[in-house]
Amino acid sequence: MATILRTDQENPAEDEVREGARVIREGGLVVFPTETVYGLGANAFSEEACRKIFKAKERPADNPLIVHISSLDRLNEVAENVPHDLIGKLEKVWPGPVTLLFHKGSLIPDLVTGGSSLVAVRIPANKLALRLIELAGVPIAAPSANVSTRPSITDSRYAISELEGRVDLIFDSGPTSRGLESTIIDVSGKTPVLLRAGSKPVEELKEIFGDIEVTDFARGMLESSIPLAPGMKYRHYSPNKKLFLASSLELLHIVAGNDSLKGRVVIMGSDELCASSSLACIKLGPEGDHHQAGRRLFSALRELEQLPEPVGVIMPFSEAGTGLAIMNRIRKASTAAFSSLEELQKLIF
């Protein structure tokens, strides 16, 4: 069973972080908070340690891991041929929820990149994570800490229930501050390409990196297109319950007011909608507050699993700003979309 250390993310106790760093150096697995989601980390230089990540997470071997570093001056330990004119841009996004692809450095095992010559790197904006990497003295390879296909983990209580028997140490540090994974861009070619919409809105990244290619794939629209980030082709974020996406907020209001769905359907919607719902309702934050919704989404999917009703119905979001990532995650987590009450009834009865 894992050692569980209760530690404040923003003011972490040095002794406890040191213990985590020791586990990393000795080739073990540590679950730690970042500003986005919890990560399941190991020494990125050790193939043997990283192999344990794939096993603990039940992750397919062709799905590569993000390498986390603690400062820009250590980028050259994990990546090669980083264009000089990128450095100023990196200073603007790091530490932060942005992952970039570079040519892989020779110290990074092929296992970490799934055989690709490119490596994904980020500096997380979280005091505990940064100190852990610093004290470990090595970069930390870490995917999101959930078991494969499950919703990402944004609160340590879910890390403990899901991973206690699979890892060596878990930092019990409560909810993460952002709740959606990092935005991933490939900057290794001519035009930067968005590989995964994430916590940092692509609009803001365009101001730094210039034009960024946004494919339908990164929006989660096309099941059949070629996945750019290997991980995006897998079933993802699935709660162990049916989840249906309403085509509009008006429709969700109709569903929420329908007494005949009591005991069968849980609504996942804004605080305002929940206040007027006659059905059980999981709050995703105030209407129009994408930041709160992003922060709450993954924990809300796990709350849904614990309620007695067999079906969840979730609201749609506009795809501006963080909404692009929120809708990407919702599309992947949901069983189907519906555009009328009759259609929903057919789906659930």
User: Which residues here bind Mg ion, judged by CB under 5 A?
Assistant: 144
Residue number, 136 or 266, with CB nearest to ligand TXA: 136
CB of 26 to Mg ion, least distance (A): 25
Site for ligand TXA contains 315 (CB under 6 A): no
Q: Are 215 and 197 in contact (CB under 8 A)?
A: no
* Contact of 183 with 200, CB cutoff 8 Å: yes
Of 113, 131, 102, nearest to 47 (Cα)? 113
By CB under 6 A, tell whether 118 contacts ligand TXA. Answer: yes
13, burial (CB in 10 Å: exposed 0-12, middle 13-18, buried 19+): middle
Nearer of residues 144 and 270 to Mg ion, judged by Cβ: 144
Of 32 and 338, the one with the shorter C-beta distance to Mg ion is 32
Q: How far is the CB of 64 from ligand TXA (least distance, A)?
A: 3
Q: Is 133 in the site for ligand TXA (CB under 6 A)?
A: no
Q: Which is nearer to ligand TXA, 195 or 344 (CB)?
A: 195
Q: Scan residues 173-202 and list those touching ligand TXA (CB under 6 A).
A: 181-182, 184, 195-196
Half-sphere exposure of 246 (CA within 13 A, CB side): 25
Nearest to 274 by CA among 292, 289, 252: 252
- Residue 120 interacts with ligand TXA (CB under 6 A)? yes
| 66 near ligand TXA, rule: CB under 6 A | yes
The reply on whether position 205 binds ligand TXA by CB under 6 A is no
The 3-state DSSP class for residue 1 equals: coil
Q: Cβ 191 to ligand TXA, closest distance in Å?
A: 16
From the list ligand TXA, Mg ion, none, which binds 82 (C-beta under 5 to 8 Å, kind-based)?
none
A 10 A CB-CB count for 87 gives 11
Q: Which residue, 120, 168, 159, 115, is CA-closest to 140? A: 120
Is residue 37 a contact residue for ligand TXA (CB under 6 A)?
yes
Q: Which two tokens stand for residue 219?
A: 């929006």
Looking at beta carbons only, is 65 or 282 nearer to ligand TXA? 65
Under rule CB under 6 A, residue 326 binds ligand TXA = no
User: CA of 96: how far to CAs of 115, 154, 188, 296, 309, in Å?
Assistant: 26, 16, 19, 19, 37
144 vs 154, beta carbon nearer Mg ion: 144
Tell me which residue of 166, 174, 130 sits closest to 299, measured CA to CA: 174
Q: Distance between CA 231 and CA 235 in Å, rounded?
A: 9
User: DSSP string spanning 28-60?
Assistant: --EEE--SSS-EEEEETT-HHHHHHHHHHHT--
Rank residues 154 and 334 by Cβ distance to ligand TXA and give the closer one: 154
Min dist CB 144 to Mg ion, Å, is: 3
Q: By CB under 6 A, name the one of 232, 245, 261, 327 that touches ligand TXA.
A: 232
Binding site for ligand TXA (CB under 6 A): 34, 36-37, 39, 63-66, 97, 99, 101, 113, 116, 118-120, 124, 142-144, 181-182, 184, 195-196, 229-232
